Amino acid sequence: MTRKKVKLAFIMNDSARKATYKKRKKGLMKKVNELSTLCGIDACAIIYSPYEAQPEVWPNNIGVQRVLAQFKRMPEMEQSKKMVNQESFIKQRITKANDQLKKQIKENREKEMTEVMYQCLTGKRDHSKLDPAGFE
Amino acid sequence: MTRKKVKLAFIMNDSARKATYKKRKKGLMKKVNELSTLCGIDACAIIYSPYEAQPEVWPNNIGVQRVLAQFKRMPEMEQSKKMVNQESFIKQRITKANDQLKKQIKENREKEMTEVMYQCLTGKRDHSKLDPAGFE
DNA sequence: GTTCCTATCTATAAACC
DNA sequence: TGGTTTATAGATAGGAA
């Protein structure tokens, strides 16, 4: 039985995406910790996810703030010195986001449809379902 | 022959430490990129090392600054936590990416200008500066 | 959704140029 | 000091309970 070789693309299935997020976030944090310990360096990671109101960080808020303060002090000239070709990178992200959006709109449309049908069947409106609560 | 199970502690040997740093930094950046792509999340990583004058970051300086700004606004964000649904979330990302792109194009243009002027003054070319480094 | 499992895939410590 | 190779430790996708 051959396991499908996960391709690097947005995971459309909500539960699968969340499961993957949790596993990989854990693995990532561990990696940052290892790198920092093994090589004695200063580093931080900040992750914003739809699953947590607060960003998840390494090593902790204070550590992150310290690194960020350092980062802000960096002269701008130096920052752009090692300019990589960010243009194409960002373009890629836009394309990716657009694809996601298209699919999301479709999903939302289907959800609305379900909602309308539900209202017809029950004869009442359930506004809580329209709560823009987001995706969790 | 069993391989020694690397223990999580500062590597005393200088060259070994640097070698490990380079390998693990690369692996880490890849992981952050994968997590971001697979789960469509906003994240950044900043690494200060004695091997580089500037911190090495993911995804790029602009991305880091954006996350930084977000991070500083955290207290307020707490209240309006889950007010965005996936659709507007993605739309936001597209808008942000577009802004980034516009800014990047402008920056690159200025970079080219500076480079050309430099060539005129010194009469030589330094192709190394055009290396589109990036993270594979 | 969560925890556990494990076949597979990936990262990387060492060794060697 | 910086690439390549290779064997093994470690990460994790998918499935089951």
Domain of B37, in residue numbers: 14-74
- pLDDT above 90: percentage of residues in chain A: 26
The mean pLDDT of B40-62, rounded to a whole number, is 87
Across residues A9-28, what is the average pLDDT?
Answer: 94
List residues with CB under 7 Å of strand C.
A 1-3, 5-6, 14-15, 18-19, 22, 31, 136; B 3-4, 6, 16, 19-20, 23-24, 26-28, 30-31
pTM for this predicted structure: 0.60
Q: Are residues B18 and B40 in the same domain?
A: yes
SS3 B127: helix
Query: Looking at the domain assignment, is residue A101 inside a domain?
Result: yes
Element (H, E) at A48: strand A42-48
Please report whether residue A2 resides in a domain: no
Is B100 a domain residue?
yes
- B63 & B35 share domain: yes
Q: Are residues B44 and A43, on separate chains, in Cβ contact within 8 Å?
A: no
Residues A22 and A63 in one domain: yes
State how far the Cα of B121 lies from the Cα of A124, in Å rounded to an integer. 77
pLDDT tens digits, one per residue of A112-127 = 555 445 444 444 444 3
B56 and B96 in a single domain? The answer is: no
Helix axis angle, B61-72 relative to A61-73, nearest 10°?
130
Give domain status of residue A5, yes or no.
no
Residues B87 and A134 sit within 8 Å (Cβ to Cβ): no
**Rounded alpha-carbon distances, angstroms, from residue B57 to A4, A43, A82, B46, B96:** 31, 10, 11, 5, 19
Shared-domain flag, residues A44 and A93:
no
pLDDT range class, residue A1, cuts 50, 70, 90:
very low
Indicate if A18 and A54 belong to the same structural domain: yes
CB B77 within 8 A of CB B70: yes
Q: Which pair of structure tokens corresponds to residue A27?
A: 């693995």
Chain A, 21 to 50: residues with Cβ < 8 Å from chain B are 21, 24-25, 27-28, 31-32, 34-35, 37-50
> Is residue B114 domain-resident?
yes
Residue A8 belongs to a domain: no
How far is CA B8 from each of CA A34, A60, B105, rounded to the nearest angstrom?
7, 19, 43
Same domain for B69 and B99: no
Give the closest residue to A9 by CA, choosing from A1, A17, B57: A17
Interface check for A132 against chain B (CB to CB < 8 A): the answer is yes
Q: Strand D proximity: list residues 1-60 of B with CB under 7 Å.
A: 1-3, 5-6, 14-15, 18, 22, 31
Query: Residue B50 maps to which CATH number?
Result: 3.40.1810.10
More confident residue, A82 or B55: B55
Count structural domains, chain B. 2
Residues B44 and B92 in one domain: no
- The answer to whether residue A48 is domain-embedded is yes
* Same-domain status, B64 and B18: yes
Same domain, B63 and B93: no
Calculate the angstrom distance between C1' of D15 and CA of A5.
16
Q: Is the CB of A4 under 7 A from strand D?
A: yes
Please determine, for residue B23, whether its predicted confidence score (pLDDT) is greater than 90: yes
